[in-house]
Amino acid sequence: MMRRTTGTNRTTAAMRLLGVALAAAAMLLLGACGGGAGAGSGNATTQGVDPLVQDYGIAYVRRPVPAMDTADAREATTFIAGGDLYYRDLASPSAAERNITFPITGGMGDVKDVEPSFDGSKLVFALRLPDIQGADPEDQPTWNIWEYDIPNDQLRRIITSDITAEAGQDVAPHYLPDGRIIFSSSRQRKSKAILLDEGKPQYAAQDEDRNEPALVLHVMNADGTGITQVSFNQSHDLDPTVLESGEV
Looking at residue 241, what is its pLDDT?
Answer: 87
Instruction: Report the side by side order of strands in the sheet with 170-175.
Output: 170-175, 181-185, 216-220, 228-229
Q: φ and ψ at 34, to 5 degrees? A: -90, 0
Q: Could you tell me if 61 and 114 are in contact, meaning their C-beta atoms sit under 8 angstroms apart?
A: yes
**Mapping DSSP to helix (H, G, I), strand (E, B) and coil, where does residue 102 land?**
helix
Q: φ and ψ at 111, to 5 degrees? A: -135, 145
Looking at residue 3, what is its pLDDT?
Answer: 46
CA 110 remoteness from chain centre: 13
Q: What is the DSSP letter of 151?
A: T
Q: Could you tell me if 186 and 215 are in contact, meaning their C-beta atoms sit under 8 angstroms apart?
A: yes
Question: Which residue in 235, 229, 204 sits closest to 217, CA to CA?
Answer: 229
pLDDT tens track for 199-225: 544 445 554 455 667 899 999 999 999
Question: Which residue in 32, 48, 51, 146 sits closest to 100, CA to CA?
Answer: 146
Q: Could you tell me if 30 and 44 are in contact, meaning their C-beta atoms sit under 8 angstroms apart?
A: yes
Residue 21, sorted as left (phi over 0), alpha (psi -120 to 50) or beta, turns out to be alpha
Residues of the chain with pLDDT under 50: 1-15, 17-47, 49, 190-198, 200-203, 207-208
Complete DSSP assignment for 185-211: ES--HHHHHHHHHTT----PPB-TTSS
Q: Could you tell me if 83 and 134 are in contact, meaning their C-beta atoms sit under 8 angstroms apart?
A: no
Amino acid, single-letter form, for residue 172? A
Q: φ and ψ at 241, to 5 degrees? A: -100, 125
User: At CA 227, angle to CA 225 and CA 229, rounded to 5?
Assistant: 170
pTM passes above 0.95: no
Question: Which residue in 126, 131, 162 sits closest to 144, CA to CA?
Answer: 126
Looking at residue 12, what is its pLDDT?
Answer: 45
CA distance 84 to 102: 7
CA 115 remoteness from chain centre: 5
